[in-house]
């Protein structure tokens, strides 16, 4: 696994394939390789990035854990990559949104397993603030994420926007309620019948996982 430093901390990442760049944002180190990365690498240059405080990257005591966009750009600059699509699932979907809002170099944003607007709620944040076992990086990330007006940010993002969710995922109801808003700001909304949160994730090596990848790729722009 490769690494690049930003503000004195090492960002872990891995690159495979060739073609237009797709960044997969990760918050864990297992599995070592997301299986969809292999499928995508047949057509794209895939960069799996684990932000500082997460996965195999360093965990400094003090850091701007909301600086996901700048971290990803540091990796892409190191690899000589300009334009890219950024993709995340669950918490990393929100990390991907932070990347997309931070640069005009993002040609697309793919968010899986999460409602792009209105999450986390005030109640979610209160629970996280009270949870003594929650590590500092995710808490600081969510604080930074909630500092933005995501309806405004996503409306202003001019790249391709895709959200997907399984119909057995708890996030489905929130995404469905938001569909008129999401479509109004340019989102493509995809649903996958019978899949729960785990079965829709980027870590799965199943026919359903490949179906999700192929459906998402069908909605990406032609090169970037």
> What pLDDT score does 214 carry?
94
Interval 120-163: pLDDT, tens = 999 999 999 999 899 999 999 999 999 999 999 999 999 999 99
Report cis status (omega within 30 of 0) of the bond before 120: yes
Interval 75-113: pLDDT, tens = 999 999 999 999 999 999 999 999 999 999 999 999 999
Q: Please say if the pLDDT value at position 37 is more than 90.
A: no
> What is the spatial distance between Cα 173 and Cα 80, in angstroms, rounded to a whole number?
40
How many Cα atoms within 13 Å fall on the side-chain side of residue 34? 32
CB 121 within 8 A of CB 99: no
């Amino acid at each position: 696994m490769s690494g690049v430093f930003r503000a004195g901390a090492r960002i872990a990442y891995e690159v495979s394939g060739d073609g237009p760049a797709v960044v997969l944002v990760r918050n864990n180190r297992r599995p070592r390789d997301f299986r969809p990365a292999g499928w995508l690498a047949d057509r794209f240059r895939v960069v799996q990035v684990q932000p500082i405080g997460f996965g195999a990257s360093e965990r400094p005591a003090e850091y701007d854990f909301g600086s996901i966009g700048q971290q990803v750009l540091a990796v892409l600059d190191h690899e000589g990559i300009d334009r890219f699509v950024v993709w995340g699932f669950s918490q990393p979907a929100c990390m991907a949104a932070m990347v997309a809002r931070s640069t005009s170099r993002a040609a697309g944003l793919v968010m899986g397993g999460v409602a792009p607007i209105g999450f986390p709620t005030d109640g979610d944040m209160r629970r996280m603030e009270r949870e003594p076992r929650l590590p500092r990086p995710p808490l600081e990330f969510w604080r930074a994420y909630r500092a933005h007006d995501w309806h405004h940010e996503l409306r202003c993002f001019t790249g391709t926007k895709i959200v997907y969710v399984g119909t057995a995922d708890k996030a489905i109801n929130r995404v469905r309620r938001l569909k008129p808003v999401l479509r109004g700001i340019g989102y493509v909304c995809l649903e996958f019948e019978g899949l729960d949160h785990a079965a829709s994730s980027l870590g799965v090596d199943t026919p359903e996982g490949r179906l999700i990848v192929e459906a998402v790729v069908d909605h990406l722009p032609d090169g970037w």
